[in-house]
Amino acid sequence: MASKRYSDKELQVFLWVILPYITGMNSILFGECLFAEVKTFIIPFCLSALYLFCTYFIFGIVAVLIQKRFPANHDLFRRIGVMLPVFYLMNILLVTGIYDFYRLIKPVDCTAISGNFWWAMAFGCLASTVITFLNEGIVNWDRWKASVTETEQLRNAYQKTRLLGLKGQINPHFLFNCFNSLSSLINEDEEKAERFLDEMTKVHRYMLRGADDQLVSLEDELKFAGSYLFLTNVRFGEAIKANIEVDGNMSQKFLPPLSLQVILENIIYTNSASKSSPLWLSISADEDGLLIKNTVQTRVRNDGNGLEEGLDNLITKYRLLHVADVRVEETSGERKIFLPLMSNKEVGI
């Protein structure tokens, strides 16, 4: 039998099979005598139903314990391989209990046929097998549907990220500011102008490449952040002060692409910054994940909704990847964003 907590529909499965199961089991136990009159059929049926509902919960507890031991989808055959032998042994006790039950109370004139013990046990094992496979089929069907839904949500989340990244690239203000800065540098410092153009190319190239990946290395994200912050430093000068301190051992961890773009744009374009009151931000990492910290100097922007949408989308993306959630902690003067890092590029995909 299956546990009430094994899946959402195991009780329905049990109710579907209980009528044929009790009828078949009692037919084996009592033979033709069971159908001699209505009373000899109904009384054993009701008593067997009561007995089986009680044992149902015991089977259910065992099923849940085995499911907890082997919970993953790829553990299906191992889970069934453990569950069925245990259920077969339990069926020996169940059938033995049925025989003793009817010998003890003798509810009708019919006597349980002791020679049919092994037939009754085989029938019980067959019923356990059918119920187990039905429940596993339902559980895996539900998981598959949930997986399809989450995969679609994850795909949509990445498409939104890509769209936001592309919007950032073609944003006329972004391009105008970059080219305006580049134009000024050409007249003032050709060497710096050349580097600015190089870093600007790196930023756009990474946006195009990274938008197609589901996970990228922290090393690549930090290189992008370095280029992006260089452009920012040229544009804003001493108004924005940024610092990146990440141990090289963390560089091969993974995270969704353009995560830092979303966060850095959110920080820079939702906070005021000036030389007299600079905006401070820092990026660091440890075994718990990536920490992005900034001072809060909020300003109102007409286009701020897209920035918040990008951050919300990043949080949703992490949730769909089935890793630890993004945490945002904000006080009146400081905000911290914690991004979990993954050690395996295939995690959650």
Position 170 confidence tier, pLDDT thresholds 50, 70, 90: very low
Q: Does residue 345 fall inside a structural domain?
A: no
Q: Are residues 141 and 201 in the same domain?
A: no
State the total domains in the chain: 2
Q: Does residue 76 fall inside a structural domain?
A: yes
Q: Are residues 69 and 179 in the same domain?
A: no
Q: Are residues 56 and 95 in the same domain?
A: yes
Distance from the Cα of residue 17 to its chain's centroid: 33
The pLDDT of 152-176, averaged and rounded, is 58
Q: Which residues neighbour 246 within 8 Å (Cβ) at sequence distance 6 or greater?
A: 218, 222, 283, 284, 285, 290
Q: Does residue 126 fall inside a structural domain?
A: yes
> How far is Cα 73 from Cα 77, in angstroms, rounded to an integer?
9
Position 117 confidence tier, pLDDT thresholds 50, 70, 90: confident
CATH number, residue 333: 3.30.565.10
Q: Are residues 212 and 139 in the same domain?
A: no
Q: Are residues 191 and 230 in the same domain?
A: yes
Region of poorest pLDDT, from 140-154, 168-182, 288-302? 168-182
Residue 336 has pLDDT above 90, yes or no: yes
Among the candidates 95, 115, 149, a domain finishes at: 149
From start to end of the chain, where are the E strands?
A: 216-217, 240-245, 254-255, 279-286, 289-295, 327-330, 334-339
The pLDDT of 99-111, averaged and rounded, is 80
Q: What is the pLDDT of residue 291?
A: 94
Which residue is it, tokens 């907590």? 5
Q: Does residue 156 fall inside a structural domain?
A: no
Q: For 228-247, what is each residue's pLDDT tens digit?
A: 999 888 888 889 999 999 88
Q: Are residues 122 and 197 in the same domain?
A: no
Q: For 52-85, what is each residue's pLDDT tens digit?
A: 777 877 887 888 888 788 877 777 788 888 888 8
Q: Are residues 102 and 176 in the same domain?
A: no
Q: What value does the mean pLDDT of the chain take?
A: 79
Q: Are residues 196 and 283 in the same domain?
A: yes
The pLDDT of 313-317, averaged and rounded, is 79
Query: Which has the closest alpha carbon to 29: 106, 88, 90, 115?
Result: 115
Domain that holds residue 175: 171-339
> How far is Cα 216 from Cα 88, in angstroms, rounded to an integer?
49
Q: Does residue 158 fall inside a structural domain?
A: no
The pTM (predicted TM-score) of the whole model is 0.54
Q: Are residues 326 and 265 in the same domain?
A: yes
Q: Are residues 253 and 213 in the same domain?
A: yes
Q: Which residues neighbour 147 within 8 Å (Cβ) at sequence distance 6 or greater?
A: none
Q: What is the pLDDT of residue 166?
A: 47
Q: What is the pLDDT of residue 221?
A: 92
